[in-house]
Amino acid sequence: MLKPKEEVPEDVIIYMREHGILIDGLTIDEYMAKYGDHGKLDKGGLQAVKAALDNDANRNTDLMSQGQIIIQKNVSGA
């Protein structure tokens, strides 16, 4: 039985291109060319895209937190 496939929203693709977010070491365009079917991915492919976005969001949050800690240290004179 064929697995249902879902289209990856264009705004997600654009965001991933603009921010250089990789999925298993591939750009979104490379990933879609390798695993996509007319702009659609199966559940596993969609989960990989989501994981890449989550990792990027977590990394950005960590960097922001580190920056805030450095600023706080500088402000408090520590």
For 16, the domain range is: 6-76
Classify residue 13: in a domain, yes or no.
yes
Dist CA 78 CA 74 (whole Å): 6
pLDDT at 14: 96
Dist CA 18 CA 27 (whole Å): 11
- The first and second tokens of residue 10, run together, are 């264009």
Classify residue 1: in a domain, yes or no.
no
> Which residues share a beta bridge with 6?
41
Classify residue 19: in a domain, yes or no.
yes
pLDDT at 61: 84
How many folded domains does the chain comprise? 1
Give 67-76's long-range contacts (Cβ < 8 A, gap of 24+).
none
pLDDT band at 78 (very low <50, low <70, confident <90, very high): low
Rounded to 5 degrees, φ, ψ at 37 are -135, 95
